[in-house]
Amino acid sequence: MTAQLSDIGQTTIDLLVELVRNGCENDLTPDSGQEIRSAETLERFFDGAPVTIRRVEPHPGRTTLVVSVEGSDEFAEPLTLLGHTDVVPVDRAAWSHDPFGAEIADGQIWGRGTVDMLGLTAAMATVTRDLARNARPRGTLTFVAVADEEARGGLGAGWLAQHQPDLFSWGNCISEFGGSHLPVRDGSDAVVVAVGEKGAAQRRLTVHTEPGHGSTPWRRPSAVQRIAEVAVRIAALQPPASHEPLWRDFVQAFRFDPDTERALLAGADDDAYEAFGPLARYAHAISHLTVAETVIGAGRAINVIPGTASLELDIRTLPGQSDDDVDRVLRTALGDMADEVAIEHLISEPATASPTDTELYRAIEATVGEFFPGVPVVPTIGSGGSDLRFARHLGGVGYGFSLYRRERTLGEVQGLWHGTDEHIGVDDVDLTARALHRLVARFIGA
The per-residue pLDDT for range 36-70, each reduced to its tens digit, is: 999 999 999 999 999 999 999 999 999 999 999 99
Work out the percent of the chain whose per-residue pLDDT is above 70: 99
The per-residue pLDDT for range 263-274, each reduced to its tens digit, is: 999 988 899 999
Q: CB of 128 within 8 A of CB of 141?
A: yes
Q: CB of 347 within 8 A of CB of 152?
A: yes
pLDDT at 287: 95
The per-residue pLDDT for range 71-110, each reduced to its tens digit, is: 999 899 999 999 999 999 999 999 999 999 999 999 999 9
Cβ neighbours for 303, distance < 8 A, ≥ 6 positions apart:
213, 214, 215
DSSP E strands: which ranges in 75-208? 79-84, 103-105, 108-110, 141-146, 172-175, 178-181, 191-197, 199-208
Alpha-carbon gap, residue 368 to 226, rounded angstroms: 54
pLDDT at 13: 98
pLDDT exceeds 60 at position 442: yes
pLDDT band per the 50, 70, 90 thresholds, residue 219: confident
pLDDT at 135: 86
pLDDT band per the 50, 70, 90 thresholds, residue 418: confident
Q: What type of residue is 414?
A: Q
pLDDT at 69: 97
Torsional sign, CA 428, 421, 26, 203: positive
Q: CB of 199 within 8 A of CB of 350?
A: yes
Per DSSP bridges, beta strands 64-69 and 52-56 are: antiparallel
The per-residue pLDDT for range 112-142, each reduced to its tens digit, is: 999 999 999 999 999 999 999 998 899 999 9
The per-residue pLDDT for range 156-170, each reduced to its tens digit, is: 999 999 999 999 999
The per-residue pLDDT for range 320-358, each reduced to its tens digit, is: 999 999 999 999 999 999 999 999 999 999 999 999 999
pLDDT exceeds 60 at position 275: yes
pLDDT at 326: 97
Which option is the CATH number for 2-185+352-444: 3.40.640.10, 3.40.50.2300, 3.40.50.720, 3.40.630.10? 3.40.630.10
**What's the average model confidence in pLDDT over 249-274?**
94
pLDDT exceeds 50 at position 2: no
Domain pair 2-185+352-444 / 198-349, same fold? no
The third-level CATH classification (topology) of the domain covering 198-349 is Alpha-Beta Plaits (3.30.70)
The per-residue pLDDT for range 367-417, each reduced to its tens digit, is: 999 999 999 999 999 988 899 999 999 999 999 999 999 999 999 998 888
Cβ neighbours for 187, distance < 8 A, ≥ 6 positions apart:
none
Domain residue spans in the chain?
A: 2-185+352-444, 198-349
In Å, how far from its chain's centre is CA 211? 43
Q: Count the Cβ atoms, other than its own, within 10 Å of residue 3.
A: 5
Considering the chain, what is the average pLDDT of its residues?
Answer: 95
